[in-house]
Structure 1
Amino acid sequence: MAKSTTKEKGNGFLDVIVTILVALGVAFLLRTFVVGVYEVPSGSMLETIQEGDLLLGEKVSLNWESPKAGDIVTFDSPREPGTTLVKRVIAAGGQTVDLRDGNVYVDGVQLDESSYTLGKPSYSLSDQAGSAGITYPYTVPDGCIWVMGDNRTNSLDSRYFGAVRVSSVTSKILCIYWPISDVKGL
């Protein structure tokens, strides 16, 4: 059996360091360009997403397609720089959103949202202090999306801050991965 030399021990140590650096680099690239991990700080998406849930979002498809109605997305808050929000896409650029009698209409068709709003009414938030003063019907500008929280009576969303630029969308949510009791695809 051959004895290890100091040079061989040094190479083994260097191999470990290089492996760690490569792993950190790959993790950084994945988090920056492929997936995002998000913690939900509020109840604006109840009952679909619970406060404190951890979400996994993918970023890659945003390079060739815009978010569409029904997608749950993360985006940079139009009102609080550095804050990431999670909401459901209701309409895309060019579509008209209307709120009547607590219901949401897109291009004149009432949405069936009972599976995720639990029947909570969707009223305008234009009368709240600090809101964008949206009037309905509202046509979503090109390059933008209209987003709303599933917890319609407790969500500051496009009804409050207006349409969101597609360029500010950071990911499409794939699933809740923690806690185990809430794990599901979205």
Structure 2
Amino acid sequence: MDTEAHHAERDHSRPPSSEGPAAQWSRFARMSAAALTGRLPGGGRTLAVLLCVLLLLSATAFVLQPFEIPSRSMEPGLRVGDRVLVNKVAYRFGAEPQRGDVVVFDGTGYFGGGDYVKRVVGVGGDHVVCCDSQGRIEVNGEAVDERGYLYPKDAPSRAPFDVTVPDGTLFLLGDHRSLSSDSRDRLGAPGGGMLPVGAVIGRAEWIAWPAGHWGGVHG
């Protein structure tokens, strides 16, 4: 009787699962998704929309970073309190900052602690001089037309300079030259006022706030 009872109990028990960990996890995920779908208004369609939103937010965080303009050094284009979107992948995959780009960078050890925003005036190998007979900055012997972004009535620079930008670095200036602390102020410091390309966080692309100042960043 004991043997028969033992066999009867064994015969009625649930056989052990032959699923591997991956199959068990897949089954659990399907059951969880089904349970969640049943609780959401709209069911599967709502769940699909939520997943798309989460994926979009994750991708946006990887590609874009908001940055609040802290000073008047980039007027008139960027004003104090503007929120700009910084393209963090602009200089990935072999791309390099170009003259005229407005970049956000980590100034630690070069411009002071914290993040800054300036315009690229010279890249590695450039010979940058201020100023020619008409008061314009020259890069590699050619005058730079800065009328599209330079602060009205500001001179390109009140301090003369004549520099050659080392490879892998940038020469940076603010658009409101009379109020900007930039590469000019650090010419005699270690590094000669140049910023390593690796310190660049990304390129400022778009003014997202305030609503009345929406638009692309002049580059």
TM-score by length of 1: 0.77
Does residue 53 of the first structure (1) align with residue 82 of the second (2)?
yes
Compute the displacement of 1:25 (Å): 8.3
Which of 92, 96, 111 aligns to 1:79? It is 111
- How many angstroms does 1:49 deviate by? 0.6
The answer to which structure, 1 or 2, has the higher relative contact order (CA under 8 A, 6+ apart) is 1
**Structure 1 residues 185, 159: closer, same or farther in 2, change over 3 A?**
same
Runs (5+) with no aligned partner, structure 2: 1-30, 41-47, 187-192
CA deviation string 1:112-144 (max 9, x = no partner) = 11121124113365xxxxxxxxx8310001001
Residue in structure 2 matched with residue 67 of structure 1 by the alignment? 97
Aligned match of 2:44: none
Instruction: Specify the alignment match of 2:121 in structure 1.
Output: 90
Instruction: Report the secondary structure of 2:178's partner residue.
Output: coil
How far the C-alpha of 1:173 sits from its partner, in A, is 0.9
Given residue 199 of structure 2, which amino acid in structure 1 is its aligned partner? S
Q: Distance in 2 between matches of 1:180 and 1:30?
A: 20
CA RMSD of aligned residues (A): 2.9
Q: Deviations over 1:31-86 (max 9, x none)?
A: 2x3111000010000001111000001111211211101111100112323x1111
Contact between 1:74 and 1:87, CA under 8 Å: does it hold in 2? Answer: yes
Q: Which amino acid aligns with 1:147?
A: L
Distance in 2 (CA, whole Å) between partners of 1:39 and 1:159 is 23
Residue identity over aligned pairs, in percent, reads 32
In structure 1, runs of 5+ residues without a counterpart are 1-6, 126-134
**Which residue of 121, 129, 132 maps to 2:155?**
121
What secondary structure does 2:80 align onto?
coil
Please state whether the residue corresponding to 1:181 is helix, strand or coil. helix
**Aligned length, in residue pairs:** 167
CA contact under 8 A between 1:124 and 1:159: conserved in structure 2?
A: no
Moved over 3 A (4+): 19-30
**Structure holding more strand per residue:** 1
Q: Which protein shows a greater Rg?
A: 2
**C-alpha distance in 2 between matches for 1:66 and 1:124:** 29
